[in-house]
Amino acid sequence: MVEAPLYLDALNGLPGVKAGWVGRIAGLPVEVDRDQAMCRLRSFHEESVKAAYGKSIWWRAEQVHGSGVAVVPTANLWMAGDGMPVVPGVDGLLTAGPGEVLGIYVADCGAIWMADRGSGAVGLLHSGKKGTELEILGVAVERMKREFGTRPEDLVVVLGPCIRPPDYEIDFAAEIGRQALAAGVGHFEDCRQNTAGDPEGCYSYRMEKGKTGRMLALIAGGCGA
């Protein structure tokens, strides 16, 4: 089911914004490669999105560990290995379309939720070690400026669960916080949860040697107050 953890309160308190999180599915075996794991998770995620957002489909990024960001619903699509369409070559999705549901999958990398208090535009980013090095957050902020007239001071940005020291040698979560400050983001929150330290609630690619599932971060704008 889609949850609304406390760290998403700053987003869910905004008019029309609905942010959510689907964590580890208890009892579902996912000790397989990514595409197989995603196929096993698909029905659970579909049911969750349908119940929370009233939609059977949602926008997905290919997630290539880069800094590419696409605006939907105008972006192109292609079929991924798990049989569902994705926006190719990007790790971030942005929209000002009412009710468009965005989704990002993570299992140690960080999901970054974004919402513009001015325009109502929203976004979701996939930012791990590489995406953070490429400053995908800064790229997304600049894209929102161009596409939606977003002012950085109007942005609410939240970093979700991700792997952190001492379980990972690089503290990319701290770097994301620094990048948010440098970009002039008005409100930034880090949930400070370590995926590697929560085997009951989270999938961890590193701790499970690559054979694991993915959590699903979700956001939609224009959902009504």
Q: What is the pLDDT of residues 65-76, one digit of tens each?
A: 999 999 999 999
Query: Cβ(90)–Cβ(68) under 8 Å?
Result: yes
* Torsion 6-109-69-46 (CA) sign: negative
- pLDDT value at position 150? 97
Cα dist from 164 to 35, 86, 171, 205, 212, whole Å: 25, 28, 6, 13, 18
CA distance 210 to 171: 20
CA distance 122 to 112: 11
- pLDDT value at position 224? 56
- pLDDT value at position 223? 74
- Helix, coil or strand: residue 20: strand
Query: Cβ(220)–Cβ(53) under 8 Å?
Result: yes
Give yes or no for residue 225 having a pLDDT over 80: no
Query: Cβ(87)–Cβ(75) under 8 Å?
Result: yes
Give yes or no for residue 217 having a pLDDT over 90: yes
Give percent of the chain above pLDDT 90. 94
DSSP string, 36-99: HHHHHHHHHHHHHHHHHHS-S--EEB---SS--EEESSSS--EE-TTSSEEBTT-SEEEE-STT
Q: Which CATH superfamily is domain 6-220 in?
A: CNF1/YfiH-like putative cysteine hydrolases (3.60.140.10)
Domain boundary assignment for the chain: 6-220
Give yes or no for residue 137 having a pLDDT over 90: yes
